[in-house]
Amino acid sequence: MLLRRGSEALRPIYQNCVFHSEERSLSHWQVAQELAEHTIAWKRGAVDAAMYKGRVRRLEAYVLRYGAEVEITPRPFEDFVLVHMSLRGAAEVESDGQRIEIAEGRAALIAPKRKIQLRWHAGTEQLILKLPHALIHEVLERLGRDNLDFAPGCLIPSALTPQWDVLMQSVLGIMRLSSDAGLSPLWLDDLERNVALFALAHHGRDSVVPSPLTPEPYHDRAGMSDEARRIDGALRFMQENMSVPLSLSDIAAAAGVSVRTLNSLSNRHLGTTPMEALRNLRLDFVRHKLRLNPQAGVTETALEAGFGNLGRFASYYLERFGELPRHTAGQRDD
């Protein structure tokens, strides 16, 4: 299962609270001390800010929330890049002119050189990993490469999110252990480098994704495994036909595999069934539109996303996001 707010895997971070405050100035100062100097504009919603922190050698991980909707303008990062994963809610990032949205359950790598601005919706909670440049350059040296031109920001492809999740759960699991647990320093070094290597391998300029609501443009599909290409094809087909009634056979045919193989690949790569993955894509579409479009109606948006049974839709939405769709729509007017 993918990381979610309040999940057991995140307990090592939640046990170390850096601060919890309803004061804007204190929250601003505390985040600046840990991450980067920034300006912040507080928008709608009550301030309920909190930061939690964990560390494994050179890797620092945070869970951060503001409670209210905020617009943040940090200085460009000088000695690190960040990986943001939305545990709850969504965040928009504009990095050196490249705009992306990190929907709930998605992760993005952010490496601005000139200018960055972030907008967090009310209630958003993010898992943030800080990757130091020194660690990245160490991996580059082992690969025999001098430099890598990072994209200012990009989403980790949907098909690869479970792999990132596995890496993060490994890091989080080590945070749970005492310093004298007997783990080999050599093994810990390799884990750190593997995390950085994943970022390097999936943060090239050809990986930039303009929106989570459009199929990801894999220019390097030839370098993907056959299984990853199959899952990518299935996800792209779902996204392109979201409003159309789809059967399991339709999706399997689009991926070029049997229904049985599709089920197996989906469970292995996505941690869920193909039909549940389709339902989650539709739910994410509805939530995205309700948050960003003041004129969007709940019923019309649900029908547009392919939900024919509105009662079941509301139940699914509540289960996935912890609130009813009308409450999401109502937050726009807070």
Instruction: Specify whether the CB–CB gap between 230 and 166 falls below 8 A.
Output: no
Going by pLDDT thresholds of 50, 70 and 90, the confidence category of residue 208 is very low
pLDDT tens across 108-118, in order?
889 888 889 99
The neighbour count for residue 308, using CB atoms within 10 Å, is: 9
pLDDT tens per residue across span 162-181:
778 888 888 888 888 766 56
Triad 197, 59, 3: Cα angle to 5°: 80
Residue 16 has pLDDT above 80, yes or no: yes
Residue 322: pLDDT band (50, 70, 90) is confident
- Complete DSSP assignment for 7-53: -GGGHHHHTSEEEEES-HHHHHHHHHHHT--EEEEE-SS---EEEEE
Query: Does 205 have pLDDT greater than 50?
Result: no
Q: What is the mean pLDDT of the chain?
A: 82
User: What does the pLDDT average to over 303-311?
Assistant: 87
pLDDT band at 218 (very low <50, low <70, confident <90, very high): very low
Return the pLDDT at 126: 94
pLDDT value of position 1: 42
Q: Which pLDDT belongs to residue 62?
A: 95
Mean pLDDT for the stretch of residues 87-112: 86
Domains assigned to the chain: 8-207 (2.60.120.10), 221-333 (1.10.10.60)
Secondary structure of residue 81 in the 3-state scheme: strand
Checking if the pLDDT of 221 tops 50, the result is: no
Local confidence band at 314 (pLDDT 50, 70, 90 cut-offs): very high
- Do the Cβ atoms of 76 and 115 come closer than 8 Å? yes
What is the DSSP code string of 159-174? GGHHHHHHHHHHHHHH
